[in-house]
């Protein structure tokens, strides 16, 4: 279950930038590498995450044929082992020079391997270098033409990972969804007696508990880790979990979750199940917690529990109730609402499906090209509007700077005195949500101001 991650060996001559590329591919997702368990922090081997899926990269030494001392022979042997064990190959060449005889002989060898190979043309720092692949010097190249990349600038890396995902899928060894490799950390919040423990019982009932230490998890004594349909869930200690865990052990009582503890739990979570009792109102504490969850970038599902107690339900009851809940919790407008009866089990198991969905949207990722085309379309619909100040804002650059949770950076040509209208940011957020799946997940848009005048949109 934990070992289905496809392996990709990064090979090529010395000094073509294999290690920079390797580092860039794992660095890009730094936010993740540190939080995602299952990551091997080995010097030569690391997991890279693209659009929520994991591939393992293996860095190798240079494959130069002509300088064969003992150490170099050893490096070549190591690289050959890596190639043999790999499911696919990233073959890196230096685009600033014509393909060398070594490149050509490696290319021939790769051709005979019958493994998917992506040729990466590194050091493509400028437009001119990027265009070189169409020159005569690459005419005789026996493989597909190199994909231009600049490991230094991070340009083109997403395209390579996108291509890698496609070829691995085609080869029947797709990248592994993160949640099959490392647990999704799920916290259950809500006022006392809303049904948190009952819900957990319904969810965990016949589950197999994973008690063995999983690598890289920050398991705490009261966390409960389970597997459900190939995905791994770590239910994080909140009052409800603690109650569940202790009921299982010693039958001791509920411990009320304090404010500090709440924040601590929020910070250890990817997904929050925000449980409310549909027969009671939403409290001030609930509204406060909703704000914290949004602020901290936690994906959230609102679980409206005790649905069985609503008398005389009609086909519009769910809609009516949802409207009321949304009215009280505007901070969680992105969160799906699930109406459950933890007691009877009605829709309780749907929690798993929704957790999978809202966890996946933490990794929704727009490539630089997609972000560019998105912002052009957005501007065509609505020109950016002014907040404070007199200057009319122009957008210089827009790209996704992070995932987990998704974060966008927007450069505008304003000085500190001026600002972009908040309503424009809300417009962008809504449009992002219309065009891409961010269900349940907060989106951040950071505005950077500067005086650069080369408008690109
Ligand atoms: P917690 O404090 O949030 O963990 O709440 P509990 O799970 O201990 O539940 C509090 C009370 O509500 C218990 O008496 C449960 O049996 C009851 N309860 C929980 N879920 C439901 C539900 O869906 N429907 C009904 N009718 N009662 C429920």
Average pLDDT over residues 233-241: 74
**Picking from 140-149, 220-229, 267-276, which range would have the lowest pLDDT averaged per residue?**
220-229
Q: How far is the CA of 241 from the centre of ligand 1 (A)?
A: 14
Q: What's the pLDDT score for residue 41?
A: 42
**Cβ-contact 88, 164 below 8 angstroms:** yes
Distance CA 3, CA 182 (A): 11
Nearest CA to ligand 1 atom 14: 193
Q: Which residues contact 373 (CB under 8 A, 6 or more apart)?
A: none
Is it the case that residue 249 has pLDDT exceeding 70? no
Distance CA 80, CA 84 (A): 6
Indicate the pLDDT class of residue 449, thresholds 50, 70 and 90. Answer: confident
Nearest CA to ligand 1 atom 20: 195
Provide the CB-side half-sphere exposure for 78 (13 A, CA): 15
Q: How far is the CA of 225 from the centre of ligand 1 (A)?
A: 22
High-pLDDT (> 90) share of the chain, %: 47
Return the best residue to mutate from 192, 194, 195 for the ligand 1 pocket (most ligand atoms within 8 A of CB). Answer: 195
Pairwise pLDDT comparison (83 vs 305), residue with the higher score: 305
Q: How far is the CA of 344 from the centre of ligand 1 (A)?
A: 10
pLDDT tens digits, one per residue of 289-336: 999 999 999 999 999 999 999 999 899 999 999 999 999 999 999 999
**Residue 196 CB less than 6 A away from ligand 1:** yes
Indicate the pLDDT class of residue 19, thresholds 50, 70 and 90. Answer: confident
Q: Can you give the pTM of this predicted structure?
A: 0.81
Is it the case that residue 453 has pLDDT exceeding 70? no
Q: Which stretches within 191-304 are classed as H helix?
A: 196-204, 239-249, 259-267, 284-295
Indicate the pLDDT class of residue 206, thresholds 50, 70 and 90. Answer: low
**Residue 306 CB less than 6 A away from ligand 1:** yes
Average pLDDT over residues 434-444: 97
Nearest CA to ligand 1 atom 18: 195
CB-based burial label for 212 (10 Å; 0-12, 13-18, 19+): exposed
Q: What's the pLDDT score for residue 233?
A: 92
**Picking from 160-164, 177-181, 273-277, which range would have the lowest pLDDT averaged per residue?**
177-181
**Residue 296 CB less than 6 A away from ligand 1:** no
**Picking from 7-21, 389-403, 424-438, which range would have the lowest pLDDT averaged per residue?**
389-403
Nearest CA to ligand 1 atom 24: 306
Nearest CA to ligand 1 atom 15: 195
pLDDT tens digits, one per residue of 415-433: 766 778 899 999 999 999 9
Q: Which residues contact 114 (CB under 8 A, 6 or more apart)?
A: none
Q: What's the pLDDT score for residue 446?
A: 93
């Amino acid at each position: 279950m934990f070992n289905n991650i496809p392996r990709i060996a990064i090979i090529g001559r010395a000094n073509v930038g294999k290690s920079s590329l390797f580092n860039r591919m794992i660095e890009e997702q730094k936010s993740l590498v540190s939080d995602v368990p299952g990551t091997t922090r080995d010097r030569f081997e690391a997991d890279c995450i693209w659009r929520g899926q994991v591939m393992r990269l293996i860095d190798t030494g240079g494959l130069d044929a002509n300088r064969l001392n003992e150490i170099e022979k050893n490096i070549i042997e190591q690289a050959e082992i890596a190639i043999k064990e790999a499911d696919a190959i990233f073959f890196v060449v230096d685009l600033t020079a014509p393909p060398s005889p070594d490149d050509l002989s490696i290319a021939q060898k790769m051709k005979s391997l019958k493994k998917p190979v992506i040729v990466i043309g590194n050091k493509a720092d400028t437009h001119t270098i990027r265009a070189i692949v169409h020159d005569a010097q690459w005419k005789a190249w026996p493989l597909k033409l190199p994909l231009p990349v600049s490991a230094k600038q991070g340009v083109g890396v997403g395209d390579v990972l996108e291509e890698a995902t496609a070829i691995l899928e085609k080869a029947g060894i797709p990248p592994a969804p993160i949640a099959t490799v490392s647990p999704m950390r799920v916290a259950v919040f809500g006022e006392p007696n809303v049904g948190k423990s009952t819900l957990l019982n319904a969810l965990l009932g016949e589950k197999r508990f994973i008690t063995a230490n999983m690598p890289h998890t920050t398991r705490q004594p009261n966390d409960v880790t389970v597997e459900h349909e190939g995905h791994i869930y770590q239910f994080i200690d909140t009052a409800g979990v603690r109650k569940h865990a202790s009921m299982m052990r010693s039958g001791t009582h509920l411990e009320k979750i304090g404010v500090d503890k709440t924040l601590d739990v929020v910070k250890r979570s990817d997904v929050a199940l925000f449980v409310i009792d549909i027969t009671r109102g939403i409290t001030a504490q609930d509204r406060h917690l909703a704000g914290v969850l949004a602020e901290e970038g936690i994906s959230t599902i609102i679980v409206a529990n005790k649905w069985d107690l609503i008398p005389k339900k009609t086909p519009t009851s769910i809609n009516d109730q949802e409207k009321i809940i949304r009215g009280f919790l505007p901070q969680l407008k992105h969160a799906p609402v699930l109406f459950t009866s933890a007691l009877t089990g009605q829709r309780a198991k749907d929690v798993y499906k929704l957790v999978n969905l809202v966890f996946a949207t933490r990794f929704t990722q727009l490539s630089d090209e997609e972000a560019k085309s998105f912002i052009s379309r957005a501007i065509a619909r609505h020109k950016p509007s002014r907040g404070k100040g007199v200057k009319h804002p122009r957008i210089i650059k827009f790209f996704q700077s992070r995932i987990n949770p998704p974060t966008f950076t927007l450069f505008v040509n304003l000085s500190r005195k001026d600002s972009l209208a908040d309503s424009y940011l809300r417009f962008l957020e809504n449009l992002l949500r219309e065009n891409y799946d961010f269900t349940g997940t907060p989106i951040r848009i950071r505005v950077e101001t500067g005086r650069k005048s080369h408008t690109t949109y």
